[in-house]
Amino acid sequence: MIYLDHAATCPIRKPVWEAMERRVGEADFNPASVHSPGGRAAAALEQARKEIATALGTARSNLLFTGGGTQSDNLAVLGFARATDRPARLLVSAVEHKAVLEAARRAESEGAIVEVLPVDSTGWLDPQTLEERLTTATGYPTLVSVMWANSEVGTVQPVRDLCDIAHRHGALFHTDAVQACGKVPVSLEDVPADLATITAHKLGGPVGIGLLVRRGNVRLEPLAYGGSQERSMWPGTQNPLGAVGFAEAVRLATSELPGSADRWRGLRVRLEETLRESIPDLTVHGEEAPERLPQLLSVGIEDCDQAALLTSLDLAGIALSAGSACASGSSTGSHVLEAMGVRPVGSYAVLRFSFGPSTTASDIDAAASEVVSCVRRLRDSDA
């Protein structure tokens, strides 16, 4: 199997497993317990928190461990909206992950004012668009939520400019950095977001643990109750062993940049050029964006059934996806492509290739060859 769906989940890396194994018997106790094993687990949890905070350029006290990226996004958006004494104003980009968009819709049903910010044909949000929206003063507590990098097409947003604009207008800024962390430099010192989302399994860490960075005293209403863990923002028994793996995954990913990014960029160019040679009508989504993730390529292929193509590739040992694993499998159902103005008529297959630490040039060549063969076979069968 050639696995090219790392944007969905990057398999746990060997050094992460080893780091977790070394702490078995030490970090696999309840850190809230008052006995010695609990104390050792608590120490492991806090050491992991410190290491991740240092890598991200923020204070350890700002990190709240959660169960994953979706939970962190929900806590940021819904938690902000529910903590205000007046209706909250939420500005979200049209290409956000569903964890942000659906949380905003829920907040809207509870009285929040939600505005969706349009993007251009590359999926990029022009900072002037945000500037114009925020110039219209409303007097409502405002949160701007824009993802650092898009999970479906790889467009990297100008988060530094967007954050500065939000702050200049007195708004808070949240960014979902799940796809960006480990692929492009992510520094919360350079981009002083008030809230930021990261998750472990996109970095080769364990599934089931993420974090929300909450700068300073940003007020949030908890989404769960019953404990004092994570400053009562995400109560429940913490996962210190998972945190150990999370910290190691962050350390590996950040220390390997920019070398890994350069290698991935070369693989992306190689794949793109190979596919274009044999599929001249290939569309590369977000191709003209000011910046794209180095390890992600999203393409559109006309006159080709997406479900049949993905099934054929899977049977041939090529693991791909059409987009976000949290979205529907239908290309026409992609809110990201729709926001970019991609509205194909007839059959239109979307393939998202996403690389990881183990991806090689031979993997890319084999996958490209199989994609071309499957597309030709499916097109011939429909002719």
Assess whether the previous peptide bond of 185 is cis (omega < 30° from 0). Answer: no
DSSP summary character for residue 277 = H
Whether 326 is a known active-site residue: answer: yes
DSSP string, 282-323: -EETTTTSS-B-TTEEEEEEESS-HHHHHHHHHHTTEE-BSS
d(CA 229, CA 76): 17
Contact (Cβ atoms closer than 8 angstroms) between residue 77 and residue 142: no
Half-sphere exposure (CA, 13 Å, Cβ side) for 100? 31
Contact (Cβ atoms closer than 8 angstroms) between residue 18 and residue 214: no
d(CA 21, CA 77): 35
- The one-letter code for the residue type at 52 is I
Centre a 10 Å sphere on the Cβ of residue 353 and count the other Cβ atoms it contains: 28
Q: List the catalytic residue out of 10, 163, 181, 326.
A: 326
Residues with active-site annotation: 326
